Structure 1
Amino acid sequence: LTLTDTPGLRSRAHLMVRALAGQDGAVVVVDGSAGAEGVRSGAVDGEGLTSEYLLMAGMLGVRQLVVAINKCDALDFDQAAYEGVKEEVVKMLRRSGFTDEQRAAVHFVPLAGAQGHNLVELSGRTLWYEKARGLTLLEAINTIKQTQRTFAPPLPAPATGPHVAGDSALRLPVQAVMRVSGIGTVCIGRVEAGWVRPGMAVVFAPSGVRGAIASVEVAGESAAGPVGPGVLVGVCIRGVPKRRVRSGWVVCGLDSPQ
């Protein structure tokens, strides 16, 4: 499970788009301290940012959602006040294009995050939620299923050298690029198709810039073999300076059609 934290500021909305792209699901944190009216008016989230972010999620195909209604302690954990906030979020989901079935699958969790209520254990202050067989935030997050990504050719044997049959299938959209001292240019992204492995020759689309994969990391650990679809990776690109790579480009196998 990889979690990506995103800023809740309008000036950083472009980072929200980048983070949502290709994600399997999202946790939406809603400030419930001002009740349903606060959510409806946009007073608690900077003039309607919650609604905008839900629209972004829908447009980018992120349909598995967990809605954490936070600061329920300010509502004295009142069920009716919580349900009012929840109904306002459901209306936003409807306006954002979520179907009846998709809205029904959304997990809503009443929280008081600073005090730990319903984070990893159900709280005694929300017995009405426990009676309804509600989930903790951790349990709700664990219901998010990995999106099925089936476009991967058979693993080459052995998978070594710059050119191996099947390399051309690689599609790795670049979410971020950084320069790491002592390592070089590192691109971060999720493998959408094919396989990525150390030693393979690659080309960036649409620029045509060429390089080679020096190393692949998954969750901070080096991967010796091929890594397939659905996995968030960091790849060190040999022979390509950071200034020649942009977020939004796609890493492809060298023989891949562009």
Structure 2
Amino acid sequence: MGKEKVQLRIMIIAQVGSGKTTLTERLIDLSNGIHRQTPSLHDCSITTEASPTNFETMNYCVTIVRNLNHRDFIKCALKPSIQADCALLIVSACMDEFENSMSSFGQMREYVLLVYTLGVKQLIVAINKMDADDVCYSEDRFNNIKTEVSNFIVKVGFKPECVAFVPISAIHDDNLFEVSNRMPWFTEWTLKREGGMITGKTILKALDAVIVPQQPIDKPLRLFVHDIFKVRDIGTVVAGRIETGVLKPNMIVQFSPSNIIAKVQSIQMHHNSLDEARPGDTIGFHVKDVSLENLHRGFICSDPQHEPAQQAASFIAQIIVFNHPIEIRQGYTPVLYCHAAHIRCRFVELLEKIDRRTNKTIETSPKCIKSGETTVIKIVPLEPICVETYHNYPTLGRFVIRNMRQAVAVGIIKEVEKIKVPLDDMITAHTNQD
């Protein structure tokens, strides 16, 4: 039996009508050896399916964790964004379609800023619809779009020399898995890596060039709870994803912020029992002597004897406001989405404005924040939540701020003031029951 391929999680982001649905379908079909002239899904489709989709490359088993399109889906983007290793940005080469996507009314700028701030630092840009009548596989059109996108993403924080730009036609399979003969002018994309330069011509090769981060198994256990079930003849089953550390049967775990202590009876993934669950694993595990009512989505599971997660009293964060019609002032009370939790919060202090390009302070104690500005603020949760610093636990240290039914800011946590609760008595009491 061959070696199991490494898991690569990608997120596809695109303006509506850019060919996202067609490209996704063709990648899956080509991976399975299916070739056809006309895809059953067309560019005019508006995708609402949220289920992960899989296909394989030479190096990876690729999971598409979410297809984004409408603004209302920015809230949903938080969960897959924190799980993605790479973002695949699709832009249309068609006249006006690209220009509209890059305008202030377009969605592309917002999506790219969102995924970068939420920790997705690897990007592939597919310039689609090169076959369109007003494009005709034009080298000039490709180069102009590449230049404009490069100028934008460098302001966000991406390095264009580390981004593969690939001209494609998804509907004709051009430069997806095989090199197209319709664009002989396109010699290759080039990526800068620590060990040198990587080159290629297709989306497939660009995906194989993505670097998957190492699993943080040596860090303290952090698992965020997605769901809780009551299973007949078994009991309470918790579903969640491990971000750091290791979970094993018979471990004593703590669920925060409620500080409930429980024993892990068994672990399953894809209906198979596990002796050990590691970072990246989405699992279900049976816990003993805990009722369904005492656990909630957004809780953090940790090891009470090894740096357990604790409820946050307040935290310092750096945010970027990108979609707010009026000034934001001290006392602002939006909704904060972090990992699987969402709670009301209050901006209790505006500390300083930052020049995002230089990371230097340009104003201290500002009276207000406007769209486009980067600011360091102090936030107080108005409901119990566990968060961590972005430096120590990136997944648990980045968040989205929503108000008026839309995302208005994204941020990362720099410092956390935690509510410390002694747990020795709770651990001893539970252990004695066994």
Specify the TM-score bucket, using the shorter chain as the normaliser: 0.7 to 0.9
**Pairs within 5 Å for 1:114-193:** 114-130=171-187, 134-150=200-216, 152=218, 169-174=220-225, 176-177=226-227, 179=229, 185-189=237-241, 191-193=242-244
Matched, 1:5 2:54: no
1: CA distance between counterparts of 2:113 and 2:142?
Answer: 22
The one of 281, 292, 296 aligned to 1:232: 281
Who is 2:77 aligned against?
16
Cα separation, partners in 2 of 1:242 and 1:12, compared to 1, 3 Å: farther
Who is 2:97 aligned against?
38
Who is 1:158 aligned against?
none
2: CA distance between counterparts of 1:131 and 1:144?
Answer: 16
**Contact residue 152 and residue 228 of structure 1 kept, 8 A:** no
Cα separation, partners in 2 of 1:66 and 1:198, compared to 1, 3 Å: farther
- The farther-off stretch of 142-151 and 61-70 is 142-151
**Paired residue type of 1:88:** E
- Tell me the alpha carbon deviations over residues 190-218 of structure 1, each in whole angstroms, 9 at most, x when there is no partner: x332102234332222233444443231x
- Higher alpha-carbon Rg: 2
**Contact residue 228 and residue 297 of structure 2 kept, 8 A:** no
TM-score scaled to structure 1, two decimals?
0.75
Residue 25 of structure 1 deviates from its aligned partner by 1.8
Cα separation, partners in 2 of 1:42 and 1:243, compared to 1, 3 Å: farther
Residue 80 of structure 1 deviates from its aligned partner by 1.0
Residue 134 of structure 1 deviates from its aligned partner by 3.5
1: CA distance between counterparts of 2:230 and 2:278?
Answer: 24
Aligned length: 231
3-state DSSP class of the match of 1:108?
strand
**Contact residue 177 and residue 242 of structure 1 kept, 8 A:** no
3-state DSSP class of the match of 2:227?
strand
**Contact residue 216 and residue 233 of structure 1 kept, 8 A:** no
Who is 1:95 aligned against?
155
3-state DSSP class of the match of 2:200?
coil
5+ residue gaps, structure 2, are 1-6, 10-62, 190-198, 311-434
**Paired residue type of 2:89:** V
RCO higher in structure (CA 8 A, sep ≥6): 1
2: CA distance between counterparts of 1:180 and 1:119?
Answer: 44
How large is the RMSD of aligned CA atoms in angstroms? 2.9
Q: Which runs of 4+ in 1 moved over 6 A?
A: 180-184
**Paired residue type of 1:94:** V
Who is 2:303 aligned against?
253
Residue 120 of structure 1 deviates from its aligned partner by 1.0
- Percent identity, aligned pairs only, is 25
- Tell me the alpha carbon deviations over residues 135-154 of structure 1, each in whole angstroms, 9 at most, x when there is no partner: 3112111211122344516x
3-state DSSP class of the match of 1:251?
strand
Who is 1:49 aligned against?
107
Cα separation, partners in 2 of 1:212 and 1:82, compared to 1, 3 Å: farther
The one of 127, 134, 141 aligned to 1:81: 141
2: CA distance between counterparts of 1:126 and 1:17?
Answer: 37
Cα separation, partners in 2 of 1:253 and 1:9, compared to 1, 3 Å: same
- The farther-off stretch of 193-202 and 82-91 is 193-202
Who is 1:241 aligned against?
292
Higher share of residues assigned strand:
2
2: CA distance between counterparts of 1:122 and 1:242?
Answer: 55
